[in-house]
Structure 1
Amino acid sequence: MRSVRIGIIGLGNMGTAHAQYISEGKVLGAELVAVCDINKERLEWARHHFEEGVQCFEAVEDLLAFDGLDAVMICTLHYTHPDYAIKAFSHGLHVLIEKPAGVYTKQVREMNEAARKSGLVFGIMYNQRTNPLYVKLREMVTSGELGEIRRTNWIITDWYRSQSYYDSGDWRATWSGEGGGVLLNQCPHQLDLWQWVIGMMPKRVRSFCSFGKYRDIEVEDEVTAYLEYENGATGVFITSIAEAPGTNRLEVIGDKGKVVVENDQINFWQLQMSESEFNRVNTEKFARPKSREVPLTVPKEESGHHVITQNWIEAMTKGTPLIAPGEEGINGLTLSNAMYLSTWTEDWVQLPIDDDIYYEQLQKKIAQSTLA
């Protein structure tokens, strides 16, 4: 079986990284045959760095029309992901997009529909789904070991970014350039993992985003959001780019215990009796359920970007289920869109959100953007 011939659109940080490991043979069954970037310096670098057989294109349309391709990886600005993906599907190409899926749910629904109609393999680079810690936590939730989920709390404030980071590109941290701030640029992995691990989306969101609170930017740099779920569970999400040292702590509390993921470790406190059962039978005034810390074995499996890419290749060649189906990119984006909309309207937002209302609100921000 011949290798899947890959083209990469966008040679920024991530596109270059993907091109490097594919060209080095770290993804079995994949061959880098083409790259595309509007930056001529990046293309000149590619011509000198990769083998002679790798074609270089300035225009996306030219790369998509190249008959030596089977699939493309899209590593461009956020707004372009759905547009390029839809065009790739129309050319009969399999697609793997970088996160986020897009900027607003309306365009992502269109992309998902195009993917469905094409019948092609569509993935998204949610490489954190390969992190053994989160894989283990998801297994515990799915198996019922934690019982019904009651509360989740994620503090993710170790995305420190200085003003010099934002000053490095005039498109950064603008509504017209990136479409958002810490939620859309730094936190897509956490927003995806949050709903993926616990296996459910909230029914409504109330959020408080601060725009340009700590940095001279027009988008959000700090967020606190409160979520409610159909089963009565609640969730809190806190993020910032201005805390040092930052924190990355996920708590998931169920009827049967508590799990904490922090500092590259996962800890489980298991109740000897579920809280609901204890409360039903207990007759002592100040008694509380007894718990024990249970050692968890987390296999040291390969994780990272190349694992997602390898899985995408095997989905094409072997029919292997995708770790991160592209259609699921809308879930994390829905959470960030809901958080923005709640802040803008100063009210609760019900899920699923109204795509048109969000799009209208976003257009108002774009019209006022420094790049407008």
Structure 2
Amino acid sequence: MIVKLAVIGLSNMGGNHCRDIYNMEKADLAAVCDTNRGIADSKAEEYGCPAYYSIEELFKAGGFDAVVIATPHFAHTTISLEAFKRGIHVLTEKPVGVHVKDINKMIKAWEEGKKVKKDLLFSAMFQQRTRGPAKKIKELLDAGELGKLFRTSWIITDWYRTQAYYNSGGWRATWEGEGGGVLMNQCPHQLDMYQWFVGCPDRVMGMFSLGKYHNIEVEDEVTAYFEYDNGMVGHFITSTGEAPGTNRLEIVGEQGKLIWEGSTLTFYRNRISVLDHLETAPGGFDKPECWTCDIPISESGGEHKLIIENFCDAIMGKADLIAPAAEGLNSIAINNAIMLSGFEKRMMTLPLDEDLFELRLKELIAGSTLKKTVVETIAEDMSQSF
């Protein structure tokens, strides 16, 4: 069986997805779609498939099993709803949606679609889950190797972007075009892995700066604090203005500490539980014996094509989805809670008041006064972008 895919949104990542699909044995690039006729025609000629200039034209023509959505963020919801009404599988780029309310609409439409097409699939482009270190961390946590978790902290500030990057598209770094900045554009993968590793927090406190380093209206620096009912606390720090940046994850539990930084994963393993040691140690400054373990990890994984291949395998009934899109609700809930907390100057409780966040976002869009000067640049290879 060959899975016929249509790619919607052909700039940057969409163009790379076309290339990957074209080179897959299990998939066929059945159609491309973009409102920019020049881009659509160019990709259609390059890959020998029909071009469409609206989703209405695309869905009316048919001839494909699934869509791969790589449009600006707000369109993810609209396109997904149309696909599910027709029993068409969906793989959407990150973020799954801009806010919780939109993703809930998508999940509801998908569930309704499954009543007609039982095996209807909804997947997300969270390819960072396929990286060697991420898979190993998930394995160790699921096995309970750290015991009771105390703290999870992620500093991810190696997203440095220049003003030229933000000037390269009128939709970039705007409330109307993206619905946010570094959290919405650069960090969906880290927020996804954060909740994949340790679950969603129960309470969120967020602080951010709008256009601190760049001439943009959205956030380019964020600091967040998380609380969990089980006692764990968390931190998430990110920026597009720091150089050199940092990418360091620490997960601390009673049995020790995991640190993922760069290409290394280190487990500082306590010989006995800290909780037992602090109760029984005879000396006030005694510390539990700790072993430093360098965890072997594979540097393979992380490519977008792995999620597309998994999507095709799942359609053919040969695999489970690596990244079910419904799980994208969790990372967006964290995102929305951080931003709403910053605007409201108070701690937010999850599940989030989705109506309140949507209202705040609509106010930001309506009140936008930014006048962007778009500068055409040479197309960059986005395959190295997360």
Q: Which of the five TM-score ranges fits, normalised by the shorter chain? A: over 0.9
Say if 1:124 and 1:329, in contact at 8 Å, map to a contact too.
yes
Match of 1:272 in 2: 271
Whether the 8 Å contact between 1:177 and 1:371 is mirrored in structure 2 is: no
Does 1:151 find its partner at 2:151? yes
Pair 113,262 (structure 1): closer, same or farther in 2 beyond 3 Å: same
Q: Runs of 5+ in structure 2 lacking a partner?
A: 115-119, 372-386
Deviation at 1:282, TM superposition (A): 1.0
Measure, in 2, the Cα distance between the counterparts of 1:15 and 1:371. Answer: 27
1:224-239 to 2 correspondence within 5 Å?
224-239=223-238
- Counterpart of 1:238, as a letter, is I
Spell out structure 1 runs of 4+ moving beyond 3 A. Answer: 299-303
Residue number in structure 1 paired with 2:375: none
Task: Indicate the SS of the match to 1:363.
Answer: helix
Indicate whether 1:19 and 2:14 are aligned: no
Q: For residues 265 and 304 of structure 1, what CA distance do their matches in structure 2 show?
A: 19
The offset of 1:44, in angstroms, is 2.4
Counterpart-to-counterpart distance in 2, 1:43 and 1:21: 17
Give the secondary structure class of the aligned counterpart of 1:360: helix
Match of 1:36 in 2: 33
- How many angstroms apart in 2 are the aligned matches of 1:301 and 1:242? 29
Q: How do 1:178-327 and structure 2 match up within 5 A? A: 178-198=178-198, 200-327=199-326
Equivalent in the alignment of 2:81: 86
Separation of aligned partners in 2, 1:357 and 1:297: 45
Aligned residues: 366
Select the residue among 96, 99, 104 that pairs with 2:91: 96
**Letter matched to residue 234 of structure 1:** V
Other-structure match for 1:358: 357
* Map of 1:48 onto structure 2: 45
Question: How far did 1:122 drift?
Answer: 0.7
The answer to whether the 8 A contact 1:105-1:355 is kept is: yes
The one-character-per-residue Cα deviations of 1:62-118 (angstroms, maximum 9, x if unpaired) are 112223111110110100101100100111100000000111110110101111221
The correspondence of residues 66-77 of structure 1 with structure 2, limited to 5 A, is 66-77=61-72
- Cα distance in 2 for partners of 1:47, 1:358 equals 39
How far has the Cα of 1:300 moved from its partner? 4.9
Cα deviation code 1:41-62 (max 9, x no counterpart): 21221133112xx111011111
Q: Once the two structures are superposed, what CA deviation does each residue of 1:171-208 show, in whole Å capped at 9, x if it has no partner? A: 2111111100000000000000001012x110101110
- Which residue in the other structure is 1:125 paired with? 125
Q: Is the 8 A contact 1:160 1:242 kept in 2?
A: yes
Q: Is the 8 A contact 1:82 1:108 kept in 2?
A: yes
Task: Please give the alpha-carbon distance, in whole angstroms, between the structure 1 residues aligned to 2:338 and 2:294.
Answer: 36
Letter aligned with residue 208 of structure 1: M
Map of 1:60 onto structure 2:
55
2:209 counterpart letter in structure 1: S
Deviation of residue 303 (structure 1)? 3.7
Structure 2: distance between partners of 1:82 and 1:124: 12
Distance 1:90 1:356 in 2: 25
Look up the SS of the partner of 1:210 in the other structure: strand
8 Å contact 1:212–1:221 — kept in the other structure? yes
Q: Report the Cα distance in structure 2 between the residues aligned to 1:296 and 1:270, rounded to whole angstroms.
A: 11
Matched AA of 2:320: P
Structure 2 distance, partners of 1:205, 1:6, is 39
Q: Secondary structure of 2:305's partner? A: helix
In 1, the alpha carbon distance for the partners of 2:323 and 2:370 equals 33
- 2:108 aligns with 113
Counterparts of 2:176 and 2:370, CA distance in 1: 6
Q: Percent identity?
A: 43
Counterpart CA distance in 2 for 1:299 and 1:173 is 34
> Aligned partners of 1:302 and 1:184: how far apart in 2?
23
Aligned to 1:137: 137
- In structure 2, the residue matched to 1:175 is 175
Alpha-carbon distance in 2 for matches of 1:14, 1:317: 25
The 3-state SS of whatever aligns with 1:72 is strand
SS in 2 for 1:237: strand
TM, length-normalised to structure 1: 0.96
Deviation at 1:247, TM superposition (A): 0.4
Q: Which amino acid is the alignment partner of residue 260 of structure 1?
A: I
Report the Cα offset of residue 289 of structure 1: 1.1
Q: 1:106 to 1:371 in 2, by over 3 A?
A: farther
**TM-score, normalization: structure 2?**
0.93
Q: CA deviation at 1:319?
A: 4.7
C-alpha RMSD over aligned residues = 1.3
TM-superposed deviation, 1:298: 1.9
Mapped to 2, the partners of 1:315 and 1:348 lie a distance apart of 40
